[in-house]
Amino acid sequence: MGGHAEVRPFFFILSIFYCGIASSRTIHVGAGRTYKNIRTALAISADGDTVLVDAGHYKEQSLVITKRIILKGVQYPVLDGEKKFEIIAVRANGVVIDGFRIVHSGISSMEDLSGIKIYDRKNVVIKNNILEDTFFGIYTQNGSNCIIQNNQITAFAKEEQQSGNGIHCWKSDSMQIIGNSISGHRDGIYFEFVTNSVIWRNLSSKNLRYGLHFMFSHNDSYIANYFSNNGAGVSVMYSHGVKMLGNVFEENWGDGAYGLLLKEITDSYIEGNSFVKNTSGIYMEGASRITMQRNLFKDNGWAMKIQASCMEISVSSNNFISNTFDVGTNGTLVLNTFDNNYWDKYDGYDLNRDNVGDVPYRPVSMYSMIVEKNPPAMLLFRSFLASLLDRTEKMIPSLTPERLKDNKPMMKKIF
């Protein structure tokens, strides 16, 4: 008797599950199907249904998804917003959008018209879509636990005002942004008030402003992404608990372009990244308690610019190779530590052969100090005077911060 009582709830759960499967249907949409357009299919669909869309060109104005369905394209059917509409609005939990080519959303300076927009929902999955010429690409507001994966997002605007962001998340939590490639937008990936999220293996290049831009977004991880050739690089502001691992920041040349801009960032961790060919590899302002290790800084104008407002930055075991200037700073107060880095400009010696140089290395050159104070002095870049100043300063330091030095410079590349 007792045993029977225990079995009954199990059956109950099973029967609900069974009913779920029994009631879920697959609705086909296409020229030769019952439903010629997606709008009508959506109207008759119920939670759990799959709407399967054949290849074709669909002008549906705005699609609003209010049920927990799987919307799946077969061979990339085109959803055309005719430069007027927001193409898909997700207003249900657990929706999956998979395999569409979404083109020509409207452009508006009042609303953030998007290719796909998630409104206050959770567990939404947007994957394998191609977005072209959308104002905003994939937009999440108040989302949580959503996955945005393997989408290709391309825009063609020439000016920032004409363009929104590729992947835009606002007030969201536990997001997963994985394997997308974004180019030509204002910002490739944009986070504002987004927490506990991961950005992994994305490719963000040739965006007008930032490859990645986030503010007030705490405890997020950025892993193995590739940011190159963006107007101003990557910008990270007003956040704490940021973890950046194994990313590549490359080819951000230009006035005010940075590989990585850190502003008011605390308690963060930057490891194993490569900063190559940027005007400034990392620019830090008001940052504190940041650990930077095993990063590569190569061929940058400035490998690192640390403003005097930064403190407790620990820079250790990094490689600095053929940068024009290694470190630039604007003040004399130094509350940061440099240890065990490899600097290719180091010309000290190692008598006891422990692979650690016996005299400290000063990564700040006098000329970089002058330029920091007076930017037009860049006019004298690579002049004889500039190199003369640097040489004298090396012998008798006066202008450069006394305490900004690596006491244990490595004799060989660390990795």
Q: Among 253, 314, 359, 407, which residue sits at the site for other proteins (rule: CB under 8 A)?
A: 253
Site string for other proteins, 45-84 (x = CB under 8 A): ----------------------------------------
Q: Which is nearer to other proteins, 149 or 323 (CB)?
A: 323
Residue among 119, 118, 88 nearest 103 (CA): 88
Which of 375, 392, 394, 407 forms a contact with other proteins (CB under 8 A)?
375
The least CB distance from residue 373 to other proteins, in Å, is 8
**384 touches other proteins by CB under 8 A:** yes
Task: Give the binding range for other proteins (CB under 8 A) out of 44-52, 255-263, 264-272, 310-318.
Answer: 255-263
Query: Binding to other proteins by residue 399, rule CB under 8 A?
Result: no
- The nearer residue to other proteins, 214 or 258, going by C-beta atoms, is 258
Greatest Cα-to-Cα distance within the chain, rounded to the nearest angstrom: 98
Tokens representing 410 are 């490595």
- Restricted to residues 271-300, the positions that interact with other proteins (CB under 8 A) are 279, 299
Please tell me whether residue 382 binds other proteins under the rule CB under 8 A: yes
> Which stretch of DSSP H or E encloses residue 338?
strand 337-339
Element containing residue 154 per DSSP (H, E): strand 152-154
Nearer to other proteins, 58 or 302 (CB): 302
Residue 20 or 256: the one with the smaller Cβ distance to other proteins is 256
CA–CA distances in Å: residue 67 to residues 19, 48, 70, 87: 17, 8, 9, 17
Task: Please report how the helices 384-395 and 366-373 are oriented relative to each other, as an axis angle in degrees rounded to 10.
Answer: 120
Structure token pair of residue 233:
């690089």
Residue whose CB is less far from other proteins, 134 or 278: 278
Binding to other proteins by residue 257, rule CB under 8 A? yes
Q: Is 191 exposed, middle or buried (0-12, 13-18, 19+ CB in 10 A)?
A: buried
Q: Yes or no: say if 50 and 24 are a contact pair by the CB < 8 Å rule.
A: yes
Among 388, 392, 413, 415, which residue interacts with other proteins (rule: CB under 8 A)? 388
Selected binder of other proteins within 23, 379, 394, 407 (CB under 8 A): 379
Task: Please check whether residue 45 is in contact with residue 69, taking contact to mean a CB–CB distance below 8 angstroms.
Answer: yes
Q: Cα(189)–Cα(195) distance, rounded to whole angstroms? A: 14
* Residues of span 160-189 touching other proteins by CB under 8 A: none
Does residue 322 bind other proteins (CB under 8 A)? yes
Among 17, 18, 156, 381, binds other proteins (CB under 8 A): 381
Residue 370 in the binding site for other proteins (CB under 8 A)? yes
Q: Is 380 in the site for other proteins (CB under 8 A)?
A: yes
Q: By rule CB under 8 A, what count of residues binds other proteins?
A: 29
Give the nearest distance from C-beta 20 to other proteins in angstroms. 59
- Applying CB under 8 A, among 15, 23, 26, 387 the residue interacting with other proteins is 387
Helix (H), strand (E), coil (C) string for 21-88? HHHCCEEEECCCCCECCHHHHHHHCCCCCEEEECCCEECCCCEEECCCCEEEECCCCEEECCCCCCCE
Phi-psi region of 294 (alpha: psi -120 to 50; beta: other; left: phi over 0): left
Residue ranges in contact with other proteins by CB under 8 A: 253-257, 279, 299, 301-302, 322, 324, 370-371, 373-388
